[in-house]
Every structure is written in structure tokens, then in C-alpha cells.
Structure 1
Amino acid sequence: MKKYLISGMLAISCIAFSYNSCVWAQAEEKKALTAEEAAEATKKLEDAQQKLKKTVKNLPKVDNAGSITGVVICQKMRNNADAIVFIEKVGDNKFPPPTEHAVIDQLNLTYVPRVVAMQKGTTVDFPNSDAVRHNVFSPPTAALQFNLGTYPTGVVKEVLFDVAGETPLLCNVHSEMAGFAVSLENPYFAVTDKDGNYTIEGVPPGKYVVKTWHEKLKELSQEVTVEAGKAAKADFDLKRRR
């Protein structure tokens, strides 16, 4: 009887220790930063946002190529950034994927970049540059479903995006984290800057259907004719999904 009592007490102690360790770790993770630490964290985040590419593609060389340019207005958003404008179909939509990897980092409990557009067949690197553990996974509704498990700082995991569509990125350690990897059938796409400007370059002359994507706004499309060596214009005014 005494033996079982001691075993039970040890088990309870272990559970209590594990719980307290978890609470301590969470508290450490959420502790307030000093002004200097906050400034340094902000600088790192800004540097990462500038450095990492929002588009990854393998654009073929086309003689007498034209382009599609314009402005996308994102209604009721903080700015007009991170809308994707893409050509639905070019030829048979069969293009060699890029050898370059896309990179979606984890820094300051943020996915950086928040939105990445890539050609189907692109490999994405998911490094953890934070001082805490993260888990990257996509929900059941995603175009590509995966779960990388929880991993510490300095580790990089890879995912091949061999399907087209929208893949939301989540973290089951930090519910506030969210990002989007959008894989497209061909290399003719662009991501808007904060003013809504975009340019799709190297487009073969022809008539196309151009579409938009935004994480919160309704998709729009329009027909665009691209002439050799000229820039076609296509503007969009995106509103909230109902």
C-alpha cells in the first residue's frame, strides 16, 4: 500500500512540475519587452519584410513580350498591399517550376512575408527565427494540407507546393499567427505594394482573363488584351466578401 501511495505522489508531483513548467514557459514567452528590445524586434521584422520575396516564379523568356499593369484598391483595409493579380491561363498552363525556394519565416510571432505568391511546384522553406518554438500547419480547407509539428529556433522545414490554390498558414502554439501561401498554375502574377501598384511582366501577346486574390476581399476578373511590347492596363476595386 505504501509503495502505491509513493508512486501516486510521484506521479502527481511530475504532473504538477510539467504544468508549472508549461505556465512558466508561457509567461516567459509573453513577458513585456523593454523599449530597446521592442525597437530591435521591430527592426528585425522590417528587415525581414524587405528582404524576403513575396513572389517566386520561373518566368520564360518571350520575344516581343508585353505586360499588364494597374492599381488594386482594397476597400476598408489598412493599405492596398498583398493583393495578388494573376492570369488564369496562358497556353496549356504547363511551365517548369522554379528551382529557387520561397521562404516564409517566423519572427516576432509573425509569418514573414504574410502573403507569398508562388508558381505551382515551388518548394517553400519554413525557418524558425524566433526565440520560441513554433508549429506550422494548414487547415482542412487548404489547397495543400500539412503539419510540420513543433520545432525550435534555427530549424528549417520544407514543403513542396505541388497543387494550385490558397493555403492558409497557422500555428497551434500561437493562435494569433496567420499567413497565406498562394500557389498559381503559371508564372504570370504579381503582388501589390502598399499603394496597390502591380506589374505582370513578360506576358506573351494575346487575350487573357486576369483575376485577383485577397485574403479578405472578393475576387474580381476582367479580360485583358496584351499587345507586343506594350503595357495593358487593368485596375481593380476589391470589396469585402459577403
Structure 2
Amino acid sequence: MIVPPLRPPSRRRRARLLALALPLVVACGNGDSGSFTFGKKSNSSPGAVDPELKGPVVVGAPKSPYKVEAVGAAGRVAGTVTLASPIAPADPAPTGPDSAVCGRTVADSSVQQKGTGLGNVVVWLDGVRAGKALPEEKRIEVESNSCVLTPRVQATVTGSAVNVLGHDDFRQHLRFLAAGDTGARAAVLLGKDEQVIPTELPAKTPGLVIVRDADHSWPRAYVAVFDHPYYAVTKPDGSFTIDGVPPGSYTLMAWHERTGRTEQPVTVTANGTQRVELTLKGR
């Protein structure tokens, strides 16, 4: 019997295998990113601890499991997040040897404003341990396009799959990091081909996950992971709505990468709307 030769895996299949293997290597390597670089010096030295892991914990571990149950006479929290004064964008990042692909510099995208409103603010209710069901869609995307990671800020629930999409003609070593963890949750290598790399590791537990490139300074994105559905990301005008909230008293939390975290007590009444106006101070 003649056995036909094995065909090499397709490009997408290779990408899937790579995504499954890399997080295990990171976990065994104590966060060392040096072994994953391609022709460029990594920003992390062997054995170094990523600074994001030592930062303040923005989204902490819950004290008790979240329970799905019917919510009678649910209310909602709605409002606007504004800035006390304008935030100046950071200086454009030089791209160095990748200028042929990315241009000489990449503009800062940390601040999204419309009027006085501030977009890309993660807003959530702390203390809700029972309520409406989690979203049915448990899949998000982090996309590298035109040398920028998009969306800059998004939120999801635990158990979500993260599809990492690459379109740029340069190599990136993306790491998913959350303060309080002992190492990277996942590491993904994007090469010079169109790729779709799935991984479920970044959203296994609650936390504010920072996505950054170990070899380039500017690619950055944020994924807030919750074990409950009471969260939102503000629109460019700063507006947000969190609905289906059981009546009660909670703490409304808000976080932006240029302001840090702030909090405010709120009380949600039966069938009522609690209006909230949050003003943040930039840095």
C-alpha cells in the first residue's frame, strides 16, 4: 500500500496551533519574553517581571460567584463621563526600522473625545452578585491594522474567546497582562501574513488585561474582563447605560488609561433610572 505524503498544515491551522502552544511556554518561562522575539531587541529582559503585573489591580477577583436569576422591577444606571480639563495626547511614537510599513511615527490613540465627553472609559457596578444572564456572544476581537491595535478599549465576560487578527506586514509579540497575575495570561506571535489566532486564556478570570507588544512601544489595547454583565464602555461623547440592574445600592466604578480608576456610590430603584455624571481628572 502506498501512503500519500502528509500535507503541511494550512496557514490558519498553523496559527491555531501556535496560539495553543504559546501560553504554555509563557507560563513555564516565568514571564520571559526574550525567546519570542524576531530580530528585534525585546523590551523585557530574561527573568524580568512585566511592570503591568505590579501595577494597581483595577478589576479585582469577586468575593463570591455571580448567580443568574430573574430580576423583578429592574432599574438602570445611565450617565456621562467628562474631563475636568483636556488631556493632551502623548507624542507620536517613532517606528524605527518598521517605518516602511507603519510610517515614521504612529499617533497616540489613548484619548477619544467628543466635546467634553470622554470615550473608552470602562464603567461597571461593583457588588452585584446576582442578576440577569451573561451575554450570549462570548467572542471578541483584537485586531492589528495599520500598525495599531483596535479596538483600543473593550469589555467582555469570563469564558470569552479572543480572536487576534493580524493584517500588518511586520512581526509582533503580543502579551496579555493583568495586574496581580504572576505572569502573562497569553502570548501571541503575529507574523507577516494575514492571520486569525484564537485564544481563551486572556478572559479566563476577571481583570483588566493590557495587550502590548514586547518588541514595539506603541501597540497597546485593553480588555476588561468581568464575571457579571453590569458593565459598559463609554461612547466618544462619554455616554453609557447599564440596564437590567436589581434594585439596591452599589459602587459605580470607572477607569480610563489616562485618569486611573474612580468610584461613586449609586442607588438603583425599582424600574428607575439613576443618572450619573462623572468628571475625571487626566494626567
Q: Quick check: TM above 0.5?
A: yes
Q: Counterparts of 1:235 and 1:64 in 2: how far apart (Å)?
A: 24
TM-score scaled by structure 1?
A: 0.67
How many residues are paired up? 185
Match of 1:232 in 2: 274
* Cα shift at 1:93: 8.3
* TM-score for both structures, normalised by structure 2: 0.58
**Residues 205 and 225 of structure 2 are in contact (CA less than 8 Å); yes or no, is this contact kept in structure 1?**
yes
Residue of 203, 207, 210 corresponding to 1:168? 210
Provide the rounded CA distance (Å) in 2 between the counterparts of 1:70 and 1:60: 26
Equivalent residue for 1:108, pick from 146, 151, 157: 146
Matched-pair contact (CA < 8 Å) for 2:70–2:132: no
Question: Contact 2:178–2:208 (CA<8 Å) still a contact in 1?
Answer: no
Amino acid aligned to 2:128: V
Q: What residue identity is the alignment partner of 1:216?
A: R
Equivalent position of 1:137 in the other structure: 175
Q: Distance in 1 between matches of 2:180 and 2:194?
A: 26
Q: 1:142 to 1:167 in 2, by over 3 A?
A: farther
**Gap runs ≥5 in structure 2:** 1-38, 41-67, 88-110
| From 222, 236, 245, the counterpart of 1:203 | 245
Task: Give the % identical residues.
Answer: 25
Aligned CA distance change for structure 1 residues 140 and 194 (closer, same or farther; 3 Å)? closer
Q: Contact 2:74 / 2:246 at 8 angstroms: preserved in 1? A: yes
1:87 aligns to 2:120 (yes or no): no
Distance 1:193 1:213, change over 3 A: same
Q: Which stretch of structure 1 is more off in the superposition, 60-69 or 211-220?
A: 60-69
Which deviates more, 185-194 or 146-155? 146-155
Radius of gyration: which is bigger?
1
User: Cα 1:228–1:139, aligned 2, differ >3 Å: closer, same or farther?
Assistant: closer
Alpha-carbon deviation of 1:213?
A: 1.1
Do the aligned partners of residues 141 and 232 (structure 1) sit closer, same or farther apart at CA in structure 2, a change above 3 Å counting? Answer: closer
Q: Comparing both structures, which one devotes a greater share of its residues to helix?
A: 1
Report what 1:156 is aligned to: 196
